[in-house]
Amino acid sequence: MTPQEIVNTMMAKDYFSQWLGIEIIEIKEGSSKLKMTVRQEMLNGFGIAHGGITYSFADSALAFASNSHGQKAVSVETSISHTISLKADDVIIAEASEEYCSNKIGIYTIKIYKASDNSVVALFKGTVYRTSKVW
């Protein structure tokens, strides 16, 4: 399976990424680029996007990038810093890059930024365990 086919297979059953309205812009071996729009039902008590929304968006980008090599990968540890707050209708982009990849471990950084002005809204780092199962 090609990286794109793997991600299409994952996305077809990924109900939560579907709920988020994630669109796939580009998938390559070890990287992914995604797009989504913040909606009213994604806001928290401060009237801004809940931290879980940008985390979830980054976590999907991590899953797609780290599984794209063909070996099934599961998240071990992830961290995120939220910088600028988001409102309803903001369009955001997630870009995942592979920083390191061995037989067992992969490390990825994901940058989330606003499509309107490229300002960074969150920085995410994720470590995955690469299982021996293949797609």
Interacting residue ranges for a second copy, rule: CB under 8 A:
9-17, 19-20, 40-47, 50-53, 55-57, 59-60, 63, 74-83, 99-100, 102, 104-105, 107, 109, 120, 123, 125, 127, 129
- 98's CB contacts (< 8 A; 6+ apart) are 30, 31, 65, 66, 106, 107, 108
CA 67 to chain centre: 12
- Phi and psi at 50, nearest 5°, equal -60, 140
Nearest residue (CB) to a second copy, 40 versus 116: 40
Nearest residue (CB) to a second copy, 20 versus 33: 20
Closest to 102 in 3D by CA, of 129, 122, 125: 129
Nearest residue (CB) to a second copy, 50 versus 114: 50
Least gap, CB of 65 to a second copy (angstroms)? 13
